[in-house]
Structures are given as structure tokens and as C-alpha cells.
Structure 1
Amino acid sequence: MELRHLRYFDAVAETLNFTRAAERLHVTQSTLSHQIKQLEEELGAPLFDRSAKRVRMTETGEILRSHMTPALQQIDRGLQALRAPGGAITASIRLGATSSFNTRMVPQCVATLLNHYPNIRVSVEELPAGMITKRLASGHLDLAVSYRPGEGSELWFEPLYNEELRLVVGTSHPLARRRRVRMVELHNVRMVLLPRQFVTRKLLDECFEQAGAKPLVAAQINSVAPMLELIRQTDLAGIITETALSQAADLRVIPLEDPTPIRTPGMLWHKGATRSPVLKHFAEIIRRAAGA
């Protein structure tokens, strides 16, 4: 069964006249009749009753059209969206993201979206994971890149990938030349970390406790970029997710072990929310950026 068979069937079903349907489709009546016959043979049942003077749909034809018409309309809308210039599409998207994703990944995805649709308006809020779930649940955000919410949440969570958190230090730090660092070795090490209300900080505190380590938390900052800058200018160490890190000559990024802190970021949206075609496209851009 091909798309043209369904379009031919739809034209005949709408006009109930093979001659008018053929004129609308710009084909000969014999071609149209042949295509309808092929479709009937494939389905194993007649779609039209041609015995009377007037063409009528059979019960099979009625059932097929009731299911097929919405599908054809959806296909036509998709084709129109492809043919329409991106500048003709307007919409707004409200995105929430934790600080680690807002450093590199989110700007990259927003740039890709705006290159497709220059008239789209995107609002990005950098928030802790807990606040993101609240703003999604209340309808103040359309989509978020964050972490899995707690049990009983009214949000859908789509995992994107697993990522390690890495130790980050300046080039002159005593740990700068290490290939790997055990969590216990961070005992009494001066550090800058996210505040305690962040889910990532809670994970790190659990890892420190498991390893029997108590770092000296000299500073707490709720955004990754200033954390990295503080590490550059001091002897402080930090622990940052892979997503937020890039190659820098003045910083050293070192894997952690025993235990290795691992998080699973993903996309979040409200279960009852309607997602527009543009929002679905944006979600696909995020999936590609995450390699999901």
C-alpha cells in the first residue's frame, strides 16, 4: 500500500464520483480505477459499491476513511511545515536547565533551533533540579533538561545518557598531575561545590560519606561558570559534570573513583501537557546533542 493509493481513495470517497476525482487528481479515470482496484485487492475487500448509478462506500471503505483521514491530514501538515520557510513559524518555548547543562549543551541546542526558526522565542531559566520540577508541574516551563524527579511526580522523564562527575583543579594544584583520584583522597581538600539544595551536591555528599572523606568546603556557588573561574584563581578543587566541561589549558580534569559519581540526565515535561511540533523538534535537537 502506497500513499498515492490512499490519496486516490480519499478523492473518490469525498466526491463519490470517479470522473470528478480523476479530474481533481489530474489523472485519467482508468488510472484512478486501476489504483483503487489495487488497493481493494490488497485489503481483500471492496471499498466502493459501483452496482448502482451512484457510487457508494462500503462498510470497509467507511472504516478505512475514518482512520485514514486524520493520518493524511497529519502528513499534509508535516509537508507544509517542511515547505514553509523557517522564518514564517512563530512560537515560544520556556526551557529549564540545571547549571551544568546551561553552560554548553543548552546554548548549543538553542542555537540550532534558532537557526531553523529565527522567529522562535526561547526563554531559558537556570534552576536547581527541585525548582525545575515545581515550575514544570505548575505549567511555568514547557520542557527541562535535568535529572529524574522523585517518586509520585506528575512529570515524564526521558533518560538521555549517563555521565561521570570529574574533579577539576588548576594546573598548580597538588592533584593536577594525577591520572585518577579516589574520593577518600579529597578528605580535608579545600573545595568549591554546589549548595546543598542541588541534587548533584546531595549525590556528592553521599559519595564522600561512602568513602569516609570530609572535604573542606570553602565556597558554595550555584552556577558552573563562576565555579570554574574560582578554581582558576585559587587552590580550590571542584567536582563538575562532564557536560559542563571543555578543554582548557589552565585546568586539569581528573576522573574520580571509589566511588565514581555518576548521574543520568534527561528531558522532563508535564504528563498532561500538549507538545507543539516546534517543541517536539527542539526535543529531538536535544536528543541529538546528547547522542541519545
Structure 2
Amino acid sequence: MAENLNYKHLHYFWVVATEGSIARAADKLFITPQTISGQLSMLEERIGQPLFDRVGRRLRLTETGRLVLRYADDIFELGKELTDVLRGAPLVGTSEFIVSAASALPKTIVYKIIEPALSLSQEVSLMCREGPVETILGELAVHEVDMVLTDTPLSSAFSIKAYNHYLGQSDLSFFASPALAAKLSGPFPACLNEAPILLPTKQYAIRQLFDKWCHDSNIYPLIRGQYDDSALMKSFGKAGFGIFFMPSIIEQEVKDSFGLTVIGRLSDIKQKFYAISAERKVTHPAVAAVCSTARDIIFK
């Protein structure tokens, strides 16, 4: 049974496997070969399978031994790295920065928010993921990502120990293909009533705010599509399937990239943006760069 492994026993095994013999391992560890043999026997008993085959005076790893060695390599390499970091030694190579963004966030804004982290003096290797809010918060909970970007702040509904870092907010701009824009009647926002519209799915805060605004304003568009992915929504909007909205801070980019008409702007609703991290006080340099630049420049 491999429960509650004794890591001292595992370390002895690792040294024997890397040195190639109990005698050489004993010399390196400054203990007797008999002590190492006894510790290996206890580890094998705990695991329930032999780790070495004794071939004459030589030791040969079993299949289980090779599996355990792969894990032991990772464990003790991480231990050495931790010791070096605690002693102030710099990490070698690039620093990985893993970000998960809610799929409904416009990719242009995600880029604007993350870009400052790539301008740090140290090299940063970015891994960027996207997905539904619940999925990406789950990744944060198990420390698979350094930061989550979303328009929905973390609440008590999610049993996750993490913290919201407010980045800023933006008004909304409404877009339509030129052909669809020409068919709309009346001024904005009244022209949205009974007009085809494309919306984010209801898991996103901005969708909930828009639904409430429509109800309070007695405006009822015809929902032609609901999307988890903002890029897909823009593609359908470009094809003329419906009106859609985006944050006004990227209005010009959306208009130019997709050849769309801006039919109006709405300041009654603000789309808010949050970085969520496992830290209350941000110490990760890339997360700190994202938060400070977003507040001071992007959403100023």
C-alpha cells in the first residue's frame, strides 16, 4: 500500500538508483550500506512491490522501480529548485505565466490586459487558455493557472479561496452589418425593440445586466443567438444575423476589423473587468503588471 510514503526512504531509493549501487549511495550519504538496505526494504514493503531485481552484485530497476524513479526525479528536482529560490538564487530560463480568460471576453481586450506582462524585464513565457467561467475558476482553485480574467467577480457561490482585483469598466457600443443597420427604424436604443440580436450566454454578468436593462426600458429584442465565444458572436454579427454589443473601449477596432456600423452607445450599463488570483496582495510580477497597467492606462 503506497499511502503515507516516507520521503527519507524515497530519497535513499533515488540516490541508489542514480548512483547505481548501494555501496556508492552509502558513500554519498555517509551512512552504512546496511542502513540503506533496511530503508529500501521498508519502502518496498510500503509500496507492496519490489523496486530492484538483484542480478548477482548488481541492482536493476523493476518496472515499478522505473515508475517510482520518474516521480522521485521530479520530487527532488523541485525540492532543489525550492531550496535555491529560498536562498535567493534566480530561476533559470523563462518564467511561465498561465492565464485563463472567460470565452465571452473580447480577444482584443484580453490582449490589451495581458500585454504589459510580456514587457517585463525578465523573460515571460505566456500560456493563455479560455473557457466558461466555472471551468477557469476550477483551474485557478487547483493552481493550474496564475490568473483568471472575467467580467464576473468571484462570489460566495464559488467555494474557491481566491481574490478579485478590479481592473476597470467600459460603456457598451452596439454594432450591426451595414445591411442590417439600414433596416432598423427609429433612434437608438428604441431601434433595438423587436430587432434581431446576438448575446453572450447568461453565465456572464454583462448579459444579466443587459436583460435587466431591457426589462426596465420596455425594450425586447429578438434573440437570434447566444454565444460563449465573443469571436464567434462577432462573426455571426458581421454576416448580418443580428446586432451585438462590445465594450466601447474597443469600438474602433471592432468597426474597422469587421466593416460594421455603430448604431449606438449605452452608458447605462458598464461592463466590468476583473483579474482573479489566489493572492489577496498581488506578488506575482506578471499579475501585478496586468493590474496596474489596466487601471492606469487601459480603463483610465
TM-score (norm 2): 0.56
Distance change (3 Å), C-alpha of 1:178 and 1:190: closer
Name which of 269, 279, 285 aligns with 1:277.
285
- Aligned counterpart, 2:163: 156
Counterpart in 1 of 2:260?
251
2:224–2:241 CA contact under 8 A, matched in 1 = no
Asked if the contact 1:105–1:289 (Cα under 8 Å) also holds between the matched residues in 2, the reply is: no
One-letter code aligned to 2:143:
G
Q: Counterpart of 1:172 in 2: which secondary structure? A: helix
The one-letter amino acid paired with 2:94 is: T
Letter aligned with residue 179 of structure 2: S
Q: Please state how far the C-alpha of 1:222 moved relative to its aligned partner.
A: 1.8
CA distance in 2, matches of 1:162, 1:274: 20
Q: 1:252 to 1:146 in 2, by over 3 A?
A: same
Pairing of 1:72-91 with structure 2 (within 5 A): 90-91=94-95
Contact 1:98 1:126 in 2 (8 A): yes
Task: Give the drift of 1:220.
Answer: 1.9
Partners of 2:101 and 2:224 lie apart in 1 by 26
Shift of 1:193: 1.2
Distance 2:126 2:206 in 1: 26
- Once superposed, what is the RMSD of the aligned Cα atoms? 3.5
- Deviation of residue 290 (structure 1)? 2.2
**Equivalent residue number for residue 114 of structure 1:** 118
Alpha-carbon distance between aligned partners in 2 of 1:275 and 1:267, rounded to the nearest angstrom: 13
Distance 1:221 1:92 in 2: 30
Q: Give the Cα–Cα distance (whole angstroms) in 2 for the partners of residues 238 and 106 of structure 1.
A: 18
| Partner-residue secondary structure (3-state), 1:104 | helix
1:135 aligns with 2:148: no
Amino acid at match of 1:261: I
Equivalent residue number for residue 100 of structure 2? 96
Give me the whole-angstrom Cα distance separating, in 2, the residues matched to 1:191 and 1:227: 10
Paired residues, number: 207
| Distance in structure 2 (CA, Å) of the matches to 1:241 and 1:269 | 23
Equivalents in 1 of 2:181, 2:287: separation in Å?
46
Cα shift at 1:236: 1.3
Aligned AA (2:176)? V
SS of aligned partner of 1:150: coil
Aligned 8 A contact 2:120 2:286 in 1: no
Identity %: 14
SS of corresponding position for 2:180: coil
Q: 1:260: which partner in 2? A: 268
Aligned equivalents of 2:111 and 2:295: distance in 1?
14
> 1:254 Cα shift?
3.7
Q: TM-score, normalised by structure 1?
A: 0.58
Q: CA deviation at 1:238?
A: 0.9
Unaligned runs of 5+ in 1: 1-76, 82-86
Asked whether the 8 Å contact 2:107–2:230 carries over to 1, the reply is yes
- Per-residue Cα deviation, 1:238-272 (whole angstroms, up to 9, x for no partner): 12223454343521224345x82212212211246
> Are 2:226 and 1:220 equivalent residues in the alignment?
yes
Aligned residue number for residue 246 of structure 2: 240
| CA spacing shift, 1:278–1:212, aligned 2, 3 Å | closer
Tell me the CA shift for residue 99 of structure 1.
Answer: 3.8
